[in-house]
Amino acid sequence: MEQAIAAWRDRTFFAHWAEVPSGKIYGEAAAADGKTRFDAQLGKPFDRLLQRQAYSWHGEEESPYGFPLGITYPVLSPDVLVANAQRAQRPWARLEPAARAAVLVEALQRAASIFFELAHATQHTTGQGFVMAFQASGPHAFDRALEAIAAGAWAQGSFAPAATWTKPVGKATVTLSKQFRIRPRGVNVTIGCSTFPVWNSLPGMFASLVTGAASVAKAHPKVVYPIALVVAALQQALDTLGFDPHLVQLAVPTPYEPMTQALIGSEGIGTVDYTGSSAFGQQVERFCAEHGIVCFTEKSGVNPVLIESVAALDPVLENLAFSLCLYSSQMCTAPQNIFIPARGVTEQSSGRTIPFEEVAQRLVAAIDALATNDKVGPGTLGAIQNPATLDRIERARKLELPIFRESRPIEQPEYPNARTATPLLLQGDTRQRMQYEHEWFGPIAFLIPVASFDHGIQEITGSVQRCGALSTLVYTTDPSLQRSAEEALFDVGAPIAFNFTGPIWINQSAAFSDFHGTAATRAGNASFTDVAFVAARYSVIGTRSGN
């Protein structure tokens, strides 16, 4: 905890769990054991949860790689889930914050034993490649959970829990004994998404748990297995440590009970964490505002790139191609709108200004080189989680815009029925920005000519104000242009990155260092993990006693 709090405060590199799925790190038998557990779970009820009073079992998951999972999960009514949570929360909220933090760190450490099964569960519900699934739902997600614990522990420890207060009153004094206790605002509901069901859920869940609340994880109906594994592992750890396992519960929606509105409308709910589309997210925000519930959202945004000048173009395009291909752009941080001066991109190494058309052709070549690489292409692109994404590609084709690169399926050698698609690249026009100035979730991107660097920044800042963004990326070799871009993007609340090449991509967000989401644009009101993300979840209740 000391290391985590120091890293959270100093924003330096820190990772408690190794991101490499190596037998030397996790045990030589860990990978095989995880696959065995995954295979054994298929087609059977998921009976590892310790929560009580299920009234039915339900499951409807299908792997984007082409086969049904056949797993069913216990379904509890919202009333039962909330009653269980409130009962578990009472003694939990009375623990000292440091004790809660210690228990949660221990529970996380024990739950890390599921990383390999969790990777398979994530791969075959979200469509991520195996390595990405291991990292995103395992070490990266758990590091975000640990970060939330650290932030919560720091915030609750930022004032003395008790004091003797003495005030001079003339020649006399008044002395009071004071105590300050943390009271959670109420039970937390975390509404999970279909693409990063663990990574997006754990920060809100653990920010709530460390500040004294119980948490109910409402799963996406098509992506239950990964979060079910985590909840079950946490329940088992809490139970072993002597705590009510209902501190963390899984809520499973069915076609007959979608669950979200009934859950967040239950009496006793104090906080809601939501990841998903802007349309439903706005409904959640309005409901919470009307009912006095603290709501944290990560919704959709439109992420822009501007390429004005570079030291060398190929490393830039290789980096960008990887970002466009990674998990087939099914990431909230993936770039979508790429602005390039109509005159072209200045390249220092050659002394040339490379024309717009050539930049586009070379980006297509960089994408092709990755997507057609039998060794790295399939694992990088993964599979398409939702068939609606393929429909979205079809709608993009019908925009009647010039197509630089057509989207095509790729072969997943182990899974002949996998649902796949490579990036579709279209040419946009700033005079028709309504065609690209909304989120085209999935492998769809636009190359858009602009009159100048300043025009590109103007387009980007306007888009951020209208649509929100979770990442922005600018390439320029001119320090003065970089400074002006930084100030312009800062003013509209967008996170800013410059001149990324090599093995660091705009899609990535590092725990303990990057604030994922600024909470300053329409893309969401939450940031993982700043003080506001934890401090808004509790109240401080004072007790004063005289002599």
Give me the mean pLDDT over the 39-43 stretch: 98
Tell me: do 483 and 354 sit in the same domain.
yes
**Separation in Å, CA 171 to CA 167, 175, 545:** 11, 13, 21
Residue 518 pLDDT greater than 80, yes or no: yes
Residue 257 has pLDDT above 90, yes or no: no
Residue 170 lies in a domain: no
Looking at the structure, do residues 341 and 488 belong to the same domain, yes or no?
yes
Helix (H) or strand (E) holding 404: strand 403-405
pLDDT of residue 24: 92
Same structural domain, 490 and 534: no
Are residue 254 and residue 337 in the same domain, yes or no?
no
pLDDT score recorded for residue 11: 95
Per-residue pLDDT for 307 more than 80?
yes
pLDDT, average across residues 280-305:
96
- Buried-state track 257-268, b at ≥16 Cβ within 10 A, e below 16: bebbebbbebee
Q: Is 509 contained in some domain?
A: no
What is the structure's pLDDT at 271? 98
The pLDDT of residue 160 is 95
Q: Is 45 inside a domain boundary?
A: yes
pLDDT tens for 184-221 read 999 999 999 999 999 999 999 999 999 999 999 999 99
Amino acid 198: pLDDT: 98
pLDDT at position 417 over 80: yes
| pLDDT recorded at residue 263 | 96
- Indicate whether 319 and 437 sit together in one domain: yes
102 in a structural domain: yes
The residues, ordered by sequence, that sit 6+ positions from 141 with a Cβ below 8 Å of its Cβ are 198, 199, 201, 202
In this structure, the answer to whether residues 266 and 362 fall within a common structural domain is no
For residue 21, give the amino acid letter. Answer: P
Q: Are 421 and 389 in contact (CB under 8 A)?
A: yes
327 shares its domain with 405: yes
Model pLDDT for residues 319-375, shown as the tens digit of each residue: 999 999 999 999 999 999 999 999 999 999 999 999 999 999 999 999 999 999 999
Alpha helical stretches, state H, 220-349: 225-240, 260-264, 278-291, 313-325
Whichever domain contains 369, its CATH number is 3.40.309.10
- Examine residue 521 and say whether the peptide bond preceding it is cis (omega within 30 degrees of 0): no
Mean pLDDT of 147-171: 96
Q: How many domains does the chain have?
A: 2
- Exposure class string for 212-248: b at 16+ Cβ within 10 A, else e: bbbbbbbbbbbbbbbbbbbbbbbbbbbeeeebbbbbb
* pLDDT at residue 547 tops 80: no
The answer on pLDDT for 485 being more than 90 is yes
Predicted pLDDT of residue 256:
86
Q: Is the pLDDT of residue 458 over 90?
A: yes
Considering the domain architecture, whether residues 139 and 237 belong to the same structural domain is answered as yes
- CA-nearest of 429, 425, 438, 447 to 306 is 447
Residue 108 has pLDDT above 80, yes or no: yes
- Tell me how many degrees the CA angle 396-401-402 measures, rounded to the nearest 5: 120
Give pLDDT, residue 494. 96
Q: How far apart are CA 380 and CA 439, in angstroms?
A: 22
Write down the residue that tokens 């967000």 correspond to.
Answer: 509
Asked if residue 244 is part of any domain, the answer here is yes
Over pLDDT 90: what percentage of the chain? 98
Same domain, yes or no, for 288 and 373? no
Q: What is the mean pLDDT of residues 30-52?
A: 97
Query: In angstroms, rounded to a whole number, what is the distance separating the alpha carbons of residues 188 and 534?
Result: 12
Does residue 150 lie in a domain region?
yes
**pLDDT tier, 401 (very low <50, low <70, confident <90, very high otherwise):** very high
- Confidence tier at 258 by pLDDT (50, 70, 90): confident
- 375 vs 370: CA distance, rounded Å: 9
- The arithmetic mean of pLDDT across residues 37-41, rounded, is 98
pLDDT averaged over every residue in the chain? 97
Phi, psi of 350 (to 5 degrees): -100, -15
For residue 134, the enclosing domain spans 2-12+26-164+186-299+526-539
Question: What is the pTM (predicted TM-score) of this model?
Answer: 0.96
Nearest CA among 473, 467, 468, 457 for reference residue 506: 473
| Tens-digit pLDDT profile for residues 109-130 | 999 999 999 999 999 999 999 9
Tens digit of each residue's pLDDT (9 = 90 or more) over 62-78: 999 999 999 999 999 99
d(CA 373, CA 269): 49
**211 & 347 share domain:** no
The CATH number of residue 100's host domain is 3.40.605.10
What number is the average pLDDT over the span 413-420? 96
Do 55 and 100 sit in the same domain of this protein? yes
Please indicate, yes or no, if residue 258 is contained in any of the structural domains: yes
Q: What distance in Å separates the CA atoms of residue 200 and residue 202, rounded to the nearest whole number?
A: 6
Structural domain contains residue 507? no
Which helix (H) or strand (E) segment holds residue 366: the answer is helix 356-371
Q: Residue 47 and residue 408: Cα distance in Å, rounded?
A: 40
Say if residue 463 is in the same domain as residue 534. Answer: no
